Each structure stands twice: as C-alpha cells, then as structure tokens.
Amino acid sequence: MKDTEEMKVIDLLLEFSKLEKKEREFFLENMNRYIFVSPSGQRKLRLHWENKAKRPARA
C-alpha cells in the first residue's frame, strides 16, 4: 500500500475512533452489509449512501 493510500485509511480509522458507540455500530453494520453483498448490491448501496450524503454518484 502506498503511503498516501495508507494515510487515507489511517485518517478513516482515526475518525471512526471518535464516533459515539451507536455511530460505530451503524458504521460497522453498513460496512458488513457492503462487504458481503454482490458487486451490483455494492453499487446500489454506494448510490444510496451518496444520495443520503447528497454527493454526486461515481461510475
């Protein structure tokens, strides 16, 4: 893993550690759902999250 990619993950882990317990549980439930669903299901989840976050969808 390149240093910049590693730093992105480290930043994400640091932000995760600052979440409240319920927020961490919500994150982990959604991450598990994403990991174990099919690639098309992952795309659907990503689109759903992007819509919730009001961010433009990526291809």
Each residue's pLDDT tens digit, 4-33? 899 999 999 999 999 999 999 999 999 999
Neighbours of 1 (CB within 10 A): 8
Given this model, what pLDDT does residue 57 score? 61
What pTM was estimated for this model as a whole?
0.74
- Measuring CA to CA, how many Å separate 30 from each of 1, 2, 7, 27, 53? 24, 26, 22, 5, 14
Q: What is the mean pLDDT of residues 28-52?
A: 96
